[in-house]
Amino acid sequence: MYDYVLAHNPPLDPVQRKLVETTHRQFPESAGMQSAEEQGPLLAFLVRLIGARRVVEVGTFTGFSALSMAQALPADGTLIACDISEEWTAYGREAWAEAGVADRIDLRIAPALETLKALPAEPHIDLAYLDADKGGYIGYWEELVPRLRPGGLIVADNVLFHGGVVDPEATGSARAIKEFNDHVVADKRMEAVMLTVADGVTVARKR
């Protein structure tokens, strides 16, 4: 069934495919942090759907999701990519350059909360993608929502956390995601849907 889904989604281009394979080869124990293959086309579709020009990504890893979104941006679009690892993002930098979108991506190596707090306070972000430390999701959300323009999107990954969200005794990251999911549902500034894509993806729109 999964192969069928991939066969009916836009295929990855050669640079995307190479980056996915390189990530699995270089970081076999951490490759699960990479957004799933079907999420690249989904993110690109959402960027195009809302005509996004200003994107923020929290958690870049080796750069597959940033690459997918940057390729969907107009030539003068900008994606701020937040991560704390020079090692991981070096692979992203190489792929972004190979794909011809490096000039659209502003990589900021620092704790993401610091980067978000330093952004202009007025609504200016069209789309934000959360795929970082799960305990930080609520904090990132609270910095992003006021900066999101009306009709803008926040897309959050891993909102099912491998099924851990249905465990009443959940701890650690699973508990943090449960709390985040409840926070999203209660936020009247946003309307959200949870999709069973990959490990769960929430797409939230600012009212």
Q: How far apart are CA 145 and CA 201, in angstroms?
A: 17
Of 117, 108, 177, the closest CA to residue 142 belongs to 117
Residue 32 CB coordination number (10 Å): 13
End-to-end CA distance of the chain: 35
Q: What is the pLDDT of residues 66-120, one digit of tens each?
A: 999 999 999 999 999 999 999 999 999 999 999 999 999 999 999 999 999 999 9
Instruction: Report the C-alpha gap between 32 and 87 in whole angstroms.
Output: 16
Q: Look at residue 136 in the predicted model and tell me its pLDDT.
A: 98
pLDDT at 180: 98
pLDDT at 17: 98
pLDDT at 181: 98
Whole-prediction pTM: 0.97
- C-alpha 89/C-alpha 109 separation (Å) is 9
All structural domains of the chain:
2-206 (3.40.50.150)
Regions of the chain short of the pLDDT cut 70: none
The Cα–Cα gap between 49 and 61 comes to: 25
Q: What is the pLDDT of residue 145?
A: 98
